[in-house]
Amino acid sequence: MKSRDTLLRLKKFQAEEKRRRVVQLQTMIAEFTRMSNDLDREIELEEKRANIADPNHFAYPTYARAARVRRDNITASLNELREKLELAQEEATEAAEEHAKAQNQDARDHAAERLVDVVAERRGGPLGSQAFRRV
């Protein structure tokens, strides 16, 4: 009985942990997307201010060049996070299914135990009575 309860708690914890990981990755993706959009706006403003939009131009603003590098790094990180999110969502789904299976098994086990108790009561004895030894 204790091992069944422990297994059920473990499966629930694992499912919740995987779900938390998905939420964490989604939050990080949203934050990185916001940062990337902010950098895009800053790059655009700096290019307009300098009236030079070609990054290969010798007078291209240093701040815009640095912001482009940072934005490109954030974009690469975003792509990695999206891959991790996809994997984490699959793992969360699997963990939730395993938890549901464990809950179903627990419910079946409890139902079987109740059935044994009912049969024992009807036969007029405890679980270890002679009636069960014949079965």
Q: Is the pLDDT of residue 92 over 50?
A: yes
More reliable by pLDDT, 134 or 114: 114
Q: Supply the mean pLDDT for the chain.
A: 88
The model carries a pTM of 0.74
Query: Model confidence over 11-24: pLDDT tens digits?
Result: 999 999 999 999 99
What pLDDT score does 50 carry?
95
Mean pLDDT of 108-116: 76
C-alpha 15: how far from its chain's center?
8
